[in-house]
C-alpha cells in the first residue's frame, strides 16, 4: 500500500537511507522540520511511526531509547540490492551484473520528497548510480559494443549533464560506431556547457580524447561499397550464417560461391550493410574480374585499388608486390575494416589479399569453388525457393504477381529460381504496366533465355563468361549434357554420352561443378539448372546419333543388370543376345537397383529420345520387372503407352507384340480388363503372324491372368491349358511358371482344389528350379490359399508357407505380393480368433496397394477386412466396408468381387432387413452361378435358412 502522507514519506525515507542503524530523534526531527523543530516533535514522530507500522510488515520499524531503526528484509530495499550487485560486478568485471543492477533504477532516487537531509542521501545514491553506469560502459566499450551504448549513455547524460567521464564514454562509443562527426559535436556541446555553467574548460582526460578523435577524423571512415539493392528477398538462413561468421574473433573470412546469376554479390553487399557498423574504419570493395570480359585482376593491381580507397596517395604505395602486401597488412592492423573481394577467380589470386589481423573481415564471392583457401567459411548459394522467388518477383513487379498467382508461379519455374533471371523478368513486367503476367509467360515460352535480357545484362551473357573459362573437353561435355535426354544423370551416363573413360568423365564433371555450371543434388547424381540446360542445348544443337545410341544402350543394360537372373534370361529372349556397347561402364555400376529408382521418373524421356528405334521398346521392356514388381502401376501404363506409340509409328511388329503383352499387365493392375484383353489378343495375333510360337504360348498364359482378374475363371483355365499345350508342342515345357500359376488359380476359383494344388505344386517346383524368387513367393501364397479354402493343411505348414513367402517378397521388394501375404496372414489369424491382429494386417495390406493404384487387390482386401470385422461382431463397420468394396468393384468391372460384396452386405442385413438381404443374395447367386464358383453353395444355404 502506497505511503502518501508527506511526513510519513520523509520519515520512512530517512530510516531506509540508514537501514539497519538507529536514527536518533534529532536526526529525524531535522529531516522533518529542518532547523528549529516544534516542541511536540518527539510525539509527532511517534504518531508517524505508528501510522507506518500499520502499513508495513510487522517488526519493520523497531524502537530504541535513542530513536528508531529499520529492520525490514534487505531484499525489499532496491538500494541494498543495487549495492550488492555492483560490488559483485566490480569484483568480476561482469557487464551483465552491472546491467542487472542498473535495471533496478526506474528514475531519480527519492523523487518528490522535500527534505534537505533526504535529498543529500538521494544525491549519494545518484552518485553510486552514475559511477556504475561509467564502469559498465567501460566494459561494454572494451567488448566492442559501441553502437548499443549510445542510447543508454545519452539518457544518462540527460540526467547528469556535467559528468565529464560519462560524456567521454559517449564520445568513444560514437567514434566506435563510425560517427566521428557526432563525437566531435558532442565534445563541443560538453565544452560549451562546462564554460557556461561552471566557467571551466573540460578536464585533461576529455581534452586528450578530443585530440584522438580529431586525429581519427583526419583519417575519416572509408565507405567504398557499391549501392546494394533495396528489394533483397529471402536467404534468411544464409544471411544469419554469414553474420555469425563475421562476429567471430580473428580475421573472419567467408566465401560465397554459386552459379552465374545466383545473387552472390547482392548477398555480400546486403550482409555488409547489416554488419557495417561492426567495422567502423573502412568498408572496401574490389572487383577481381574472375569471370568477366577482362582478364582476372593481378594481386598487385587489386592492392593498389584497396590502398587508394584507404586514402593513401599513389606516390606512397610501394611498387614491389611484397612491399605492397606489407603496407596493406599494416594499414589493416590499425583498423576494423570489412572488405568485399567480388568475382574472385582462384584461391591463388586471394592468397595475399585477405586480412590477417584481428578486427577485420572479408567476404569473397566467386563462381568457382575456392578449394585452396584454408580456414575460410564456405557458403554455396542455391537458387531461391519458390516462395522467396515469388516474393522477389512481387517486390519488383508489384501487385500483378499476387493477382495472377498461377502465371507468376510459371514465371518462377521458367526462371528456375535464379535471381538474375527473376530480376530481368520482373523488370520487363515493371516497365510494361499494361502487361499481365500471362503475357510474360507467353513471351518466355519454352525458350526463356532470349527474353531474359535488359540493356547490357542477360542471363545468357552471364553463362557465357563461365562457359568460356572451361577447357575444351569440359565445354564439349557441357554442350552434350544440354541435349542429354533426361534431367538427371550420373558419371557412367556422362561417360557414355561423351565416349570417354569413366575417370575422365569424373574429372570433367568436377570441373563443371567447381565452376557452378552443374549441380550435384545427391552424391553421384548430377543435373543442369533448367536455364543452363537451355543454354547448353543451344550451343549443342542436336544430340549426335552415336552419343544417343550409347546413352540408350547403357540404360537398357543398366536396367538389365538390376534384374534377377531369371528375368535377365527372359529379357534376352525378347531383345536377343545383344552385347552392350560399353561393358566397361556397366562393370562400374555399384548398385543397379538403386540407380533404377532415381532413373525411373525419366523413363519417358529415354523412350522419347529413342524415337522410332528399337530402344523405344527395349528400354521399357528392360524396366518392366522393376515397375511391375514394385507396384509402379501408373508409371508402367504411361511408359508402355508411350512406347506403343513409338513402335506403331516405326511399324516394328515384334516390338508392337512385346509392348502390347506388357502393357496388358499395366491395364490388369489398373483394372482396365477390356483394354488388357485387347492388348494380349493383339500380341498373340502378331506373334503368331511372326511364327514365334513360344511367345504365343507365353502370352496365352498371360491372357489367363487377365481372365482370372476379370472374374472369367473358366476362360482362365482354358487359356492356361492352351498355353501349356502349345509349350509342349514346341518343346518349352519347363520354362515359365506363369501359365501353371494361372491354371492353378483358375481351378481354385472354380472349387477344383485337387487340380489347383497339383498345378500349383508344379508351378512351385518350376519357380524354384529357375531361381525366380518372386514366382516362388506367389506360388507359395496361392498354394496356401487353396489349402485354406479346401480345409487342408496344418497350422505349422500354414505359418511356414506365409513366413517363406513374406521373406521372399521383401527380399525382392515385391510390394503387391507382400500385401497379398499380409492379407492372407490376416485371414488365418481371423480363423484363429485373433481379430485385432488380423484387422491390423488387413489395413497394412490395403495401405500398401493404395500406393500402387492396384484396385483389384484393394477391393479384395477391403472385402476380407469386412468379413473379419463382421466375424469380430462389428457388423456396422463390416456393412460399411462391404458397401465400399461394392462401389469400387462395380466402378472397375470386377464381377466376382461385386458379387462377393453383395453377399457380404446381405449377411450384415440378414437380421435387420431380411427382405433386402434376400434380394442381394439372389443377385449374388446369379453372378456366382454364371461364374461357376463354389460361393454359390454358401449363398444357397443362406437363402434356405432365411426362408
**177 pLDDT higher than 80:** no
What is the arithmetic mean of pLDDT over 569-578? Answer: 91
Secondary structure E strands in 478-565: 488-489, 519-522, 525-527
Residue 599 belongs to some domain of the structure: no
Nearest to 665 by CA among 701, 693, 691: 701
**pTM of full prediction above 0.75:** no
What is the arithmetic mean of pLDDT over 820-848? Answer: 95
Q: Are residues 357 and 458 in the same domain?
A: no
**161 pLDDT higher than 50:** yes
- Reduce the DSSP state of residue 285 to 3 states and report it: strand
Residue 684 belongs to some domain of the structure: no
Q: What is the pLDDT of residues 319-354, one digit of tens each?
A: 899 999 999 888 888 788 899 999 998 888 888 899
CA distances from 843 to 190, 377, 886 (A): 83, 50, 18
Band (pLDDT 50/70/90 cuts) for residue 616 is very high
* Structural domain for 22, as ranges: 6-10+18-71
Q: Are strands 488-489 and 525-527 parallel, antiparallel or unpaired?
A: antiparallel
Phi, psi at 23, each rounded to 5° = -105, 120
Give the model's pLDDT for residue 66. 78
Concatenate the DSSP letters of all residues of 297-362 into one string: PPHHHHHHHHHHHTT--GGGS-SSHHHHHHHHHHHHHTS-EEEEEEEE--HHHHTTTS--STT-EE
What is the arithmetic mean of pLDDT over 731-746? Answer: 80
Residue 312 belongs to some domain of the structure: yes
Q: Are residues 250 and 263 in the same domain?
A: yes
Question: 618-621: long-range contacts at Cβ-Cβ below 8 A with a sequence spacing of 24 or more?
Answer: 618/552, 618/556, 618/575, 619/552, 619/555, 619/556, 619/559, 619/643, 620/659, 620/662, 621/571, 621/574, 621/575, 621/658, 621/659, 621/662
Count structural domains, the chain.
Answer: 5
CA distances from 366 to 221, 243, 256, 418, 792 (A): 27, 19, 6, 16, 75
Residue 543 · residue 483 · CB < 8 Å: yes
Give the model's pLDDT for residue 407. 85
Q: Are residues 287 and 369 in the same domain?
A: yes
**216 pLDDT higher than 70:** no
Q: Are residues 269 and 312 in the same domain?
A: yes
CA distance 374 to 287: 21
Residue 23 belongs to some domain of the structure: yes
Last residue within a domain, chosen from 201, 216, 231 = 216
Chain-wide mean pLDDT for the chain?
Answer: 88
User: Cβ neighbours of residue 16 under 8 Å, at least 6 residues apart?
Assistant: 70, 77, 79
Q: What is the pLDDT of residues 718-727, one digit of tens each?
A: 999 999 999 8
Q: Are residues 257 and 343 in the same domain?
A: yes
Band (pLDDT 50/70/90 cuts) for residue 111 is low
User: Cβ neighbours of residue 724 under 8 Å, at least 6 residues apart?
Assistant: 697, 701, 733, 739, 740, 743
Give the model's pLDDT for residue 332. 85
| 413, burial (CB in 10 Å: exposed 0-12, middle 13-18, buried 19+) | middle
Q: Are residues 235 and 372 in the same domain?
A: yes
CA distances from 238 to 235, 250, 343, 364, 420 (A): 5, 21, 19, 14, 18
Highest mean pLDDT among 90-104, 161-175, 884-898: 884-898
User: Cβ neighbours of residue 737 under 8 Å, at least 6 residues apart?
Assistant: 762, 763, 764, 766, 767, 770, 772, 775, 779
Residue 211 belongs to some domain of the structure: yes
Last residue within a domain, chosen from 216, 251, 266 = 216
Last residue within a domain, chosen from 430, 463, 496 = 463
Residue 879 belongs to some domain of the structure: yes
What is the arithmetic mean of pLDDT over 37-56? Answer: 78
Q: Are residues 324 and 452 in the same domain?
A: no
Give the model's pLDDT for residue 218. 47
**875 pLDDT higher than 90:** yes
CA distances from 357 to 284, 322, 335, 458 (A): 16, 17, 9, 39
Residue 120 belongs to some domain of the structure: yes
Q: Are residues 85 and 199 in the same domain?
A: yes
Looking at per-residue pLDDT, the higher value among 252 and 824 belongs to: 824
Give the model's pLDDT for residue 4. 64
Q: Are strands 282-287 and 337-344 parallel, antiparallel or unpaired?
A: parallel
Q: Are residues 373 and 294 in the same domain?
A: yes
Q: What is the pLDDT of residues 842-855, one digit of tens each?
A: 999 999 999 888 89
Which spans in 361-516 are helix H?
Answer: 386-397, 400-403, 405-415, 419-430, 437-444, 459-468, 472-482, 491-498, 502-514
CA distance 232 to 255: 19
* Exposure class string for 226-251: b at 16+ Cβ within 10 A, else e: eeebeebbbbeebbeebeebbeeeeb
493: DSSP letter: H
* Exposure class string for 771-787: b at 16+ Cβ within 10 A, else e: ebbbbbbbbbbbbbbbb
Q: What is the pLDDT of residues 57-106, one digit of tens each?
A: 887 788 877 788 877 776 777 788 888 888 888 887 788 888 888 888 77
User: Residue 557 corresponds to which cell in the numbers above?
Assistant: 543394360
Q: Are residues 304 and 408 in the same domain?
A: no
CATH code: domain of residue 303: 3.40.50.300
Q: Are residues 326 and 179 in the same domain?
A: no
Phi, psi at 337, each rounded to 5° = -125, 150
Residue 743 belongs to some domain of the structure: no
Q: What is the pLDDT of residues 479-511, one digit of tens each?
A: 999 999 999 999 999 999 999 999 999 999 999
Q: Are residues 41 and 60 in the same domain?
A: yes
CATH code: domain of residue 113: 1.25.40.10
CATH code: domain of residue 64: 1.10.10.10
Backbone region of residue 611 per phi and psi (left: phi > 0; alpha: psi in -120 to 50; beta: other values): left
Amino acid at each position: 500500500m502506497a505511503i502518501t502522507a508527506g511526513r510519513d514519506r520523509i520519515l520512512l525515507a530517512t530510516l531506509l537511507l540508514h537501514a539497519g542503524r538507529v536514527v536518533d530523534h534529532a536526526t529525524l526531527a531535522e529531516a522533518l522540520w529542518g532547523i528549529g523543530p516544534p516542541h511536540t516533535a518527539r510525539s509527532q514522530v511517534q504518531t508517524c511511526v505508528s501510522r507506518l507500522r500499520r502499513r508495513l510488515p510487522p517488526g519493520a520499524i523497531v524502537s530504541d531509547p535513542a530513536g528508531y531503526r529499520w529492520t525490514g528484509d534487505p531484499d525489499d530495499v532496491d538500494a541494498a540490492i543495487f549495492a550488492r550487485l555492483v560490488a559483485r560486478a566490480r569484483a568480476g568485471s561482469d557487464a551483465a551484473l552491472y546491467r542487472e543492477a542498473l535495471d533496478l533504477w526506474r528514475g531519480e532516487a527519492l523523487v518528490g520528497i522535500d527534505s534537505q537531509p533526504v535529498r543529500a542521501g538521494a544525491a549519494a545514491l545518484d552518485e553510486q548510480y552514475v559511477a556504475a553506469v561509467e564502469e559498465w560502459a567501460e566494459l561494454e566499450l572494451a567488448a566492442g559494443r559501441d553502437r548499443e551504448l549510445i542510447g543508454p549513455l545519452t539518457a544518462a547524460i540527460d540526467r547528469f549533464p556535467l559528468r565529464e567521464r560519462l560524456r567521454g564514454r559517449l564520445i568513444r562509443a560514437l567514434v566506435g560506431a563510425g560517427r566521428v562527426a557526432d563525437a566531435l559535436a558532442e565534445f563541443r556541446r560538453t565544452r560549451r556547457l562546462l564554460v557556461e555553467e561552471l566557467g571551466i574548460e573540460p578536464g585533461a582526460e576529455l581534452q586528450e580524447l578530443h585530440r584522438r578523435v580529431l586525429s581519427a577524423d583526419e583519417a575519416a571512415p572509408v565507405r567504398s561499397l557499391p549501392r546494394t539493392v533495396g528489394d533483397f528477398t529471402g536467404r534468411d538462413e544464409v544471411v544469419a550464417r554469414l553474420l555469425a561468421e563475421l562476429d567471430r574473433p580473428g580475421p573472419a573470412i567467408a566465401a560465397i560461391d554459386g552459379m552465374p546469376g545466383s545473387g552472390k554479390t547482392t548477398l555480400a553487399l546486403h550482409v555488409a550493410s547489416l554488419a557495417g557498423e561492426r567495422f567502423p574504419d573502412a568498408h572496401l570493395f574490389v572487383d577481381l574480374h574472375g569471370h568477366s570480359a577482362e582478364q582476372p585482376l593481378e594481386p598487385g593491381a587489386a592492392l593498389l585499388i584497396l590502398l587508394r580507397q584507404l586514402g593513401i596517395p599513389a606516390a606512397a604505395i610501394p611498387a614491389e608486390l611484397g612491399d605492397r602486401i606489407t603496407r596493406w597488412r599494416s594499414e589493416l592492423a590499425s583498423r576494423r575494416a570489412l572488405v568485399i573481394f567480388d568475382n574472385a577467380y582462384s584461391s591463388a589470386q586471394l592468397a595475399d589479399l585477405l586480412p590477417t589481423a584481428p578486427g577485420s573481415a572479408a567476404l569473397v564471392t566467386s563462381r568457382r569453388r575456392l578449394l585452396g583457401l584454408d580456414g575460410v567459411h564456405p557458403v554455396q548459394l542455391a537458387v531461391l525457393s519458390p516462395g522467396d522467388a515469388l516474393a522477389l518477383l512481387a517486390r519488383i513487379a508489384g501487385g500483378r504477381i499476387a493477382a495472377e498467382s498461377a502465371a507468376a508461379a510459371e514465371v518462377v519455374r521458367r526462371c528456375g529460381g535464379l535471381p538474375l533471371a527473376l530480376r530481368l523478368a520482373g523488370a520487363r513486367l515493371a516497365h510494361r504496366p499494361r502487361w499481365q503476367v500471362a503475357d510474360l509467360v507467353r513471351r518466355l515460352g519454352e525458350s526463356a533465355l532470349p527474353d531474359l535480357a535488359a540493356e547490357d545484362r542477360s542471363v545468357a551473357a552471364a553463362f557465357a563468361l563461365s562457359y568460356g573459362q572451361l577447357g575444351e573437353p569440359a565445354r564439349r561435355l557441357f554442350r552434350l549434357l544440354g541435349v542429354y535426354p533426361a534431367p538427371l544423370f550420373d558419371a557412367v551416363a556422362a561417360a557414355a554420352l561423351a565416349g570417354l573413360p569413366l575417370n575422365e568423365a569424373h574429372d570433367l564433371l568436377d570441373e563443371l561443378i567447381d565452376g557452378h555450371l552443374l549441380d550435384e543434388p545427391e552424391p553421384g547424381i548430377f543435373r543442369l539448372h533448367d536455364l543452363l540446360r537451355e543454354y547448353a542445348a543451344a550451343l549443342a544443337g542436336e544430340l549426335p546419333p552415336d552419343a544417343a545410341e550409347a546413352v540408350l544402350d547403357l540404360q537398357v543394360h543398366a536396367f538389365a543388370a538390376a534384374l534377377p537372373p531369371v528375368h535377365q534370361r527372359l529379357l534376352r529372349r525378347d531383345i536377343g543376345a545383344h552385347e552392350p556397347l560399353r561393358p566397361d561402364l556397366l562393370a562400374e555400376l555399384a548398385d543397379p537397383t538403386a540407380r533404377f529408382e532415381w532413373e525411373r521418373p525419366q523413363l519417358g524421356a529415354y523412350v522419347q529420345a529413342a524415337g522410332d528405334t528399337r530402344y523405344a521398346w527395349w528400354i521399357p521392356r528392360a524396366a518392366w520387372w522393376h515397375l511391375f514388381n514394385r507396384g509402379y502401376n501408373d508409371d508402367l501404363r504411361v511408359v508402355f503407352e508411350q512406347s506403343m506409340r513409338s513402335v506403331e509409328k516405326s511399324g516394328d511388329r515384334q516390338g508392337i507384340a512385346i509392348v502390347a503383352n506388357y502393357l496388358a499387365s499395366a491395364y490388369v493392375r489398373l483394372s482396365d480388363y477390356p483394354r488388357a484383353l485387347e492388348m494380349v489378343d493383339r500380341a498373340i495375333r502378331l506373334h503368331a503372324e511372326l511364327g514365334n510360337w513360344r511367345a504365343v504360348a507365353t502370352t496365352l498364359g498371360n491372357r489367363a491372368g487377365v481372365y482370372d482378374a476379370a472374374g472369367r475363371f473358366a476362360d482362365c483355365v482354358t487359356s492356361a491349358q492352351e498355353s501349356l499345350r502349345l509349350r509342349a508342342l514346341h518343346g518349352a515345357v519347363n520354362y515359365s511358371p506363369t501359365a501353371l500359376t494361372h491354371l492353378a488359380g483358375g481351378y481354385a476359383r472354380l472349387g477344383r482344389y485337387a487340380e489347383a494344388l497339383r498345378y500349383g505344386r508344379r508351378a512351385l517346383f518350376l519357380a524354384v528350379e529357375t531361381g525366380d524368387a518372386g514366382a516362388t513367393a506367389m506360388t507359395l501364397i496361392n498354394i496356401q490359399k487353396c489349402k485354406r479354402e479346401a480345409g487342408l493343411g496344418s497350422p505349422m505348414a500354414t505359418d511356414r508357407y506365409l513366413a517363406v513367402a513374406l521373406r521372399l517378397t521383401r527380399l525382392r521388394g515385391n510390394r503387391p505380393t507382400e500385401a497379398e501375404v499380409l492379407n492372407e496372414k490376416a485371414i488365418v489369424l481371423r480363423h484363429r480368433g485373433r481379430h485385432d491382429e488380423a484387422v491390423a494386417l488387413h489395413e497394412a495390406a490395403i495401405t500398401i496397394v493404395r500406393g500402387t493404384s492396384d484396385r483389384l487387390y484393394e477391393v479384395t482386401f477391403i472385402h476380407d477386412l469386412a468379413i473379419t470385422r463382421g466375424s469380430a461382431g462389428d457388423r456396422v463397420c463390416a456393412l460399411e466396408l462391404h458397401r465400399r468394396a461394392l462401389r469400387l468393384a462395380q466402378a472397375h468391372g470386377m464381377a466376382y468381387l461385386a458379387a462377393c460384396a453383395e453377399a457380404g452386405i446381405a449377411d450384415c442385413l440378414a437380421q435387420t432387413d431380411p427382405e433386402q438381404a434376400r434380394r442381394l443374395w439372389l443377385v449374388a447367386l446369379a453372378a456366382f452361378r454364371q461364374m461357376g464358383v463354389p460361393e454359390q453353395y454358401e449363398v444357397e444355404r443362406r437363402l434356405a435358412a432365411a426362408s
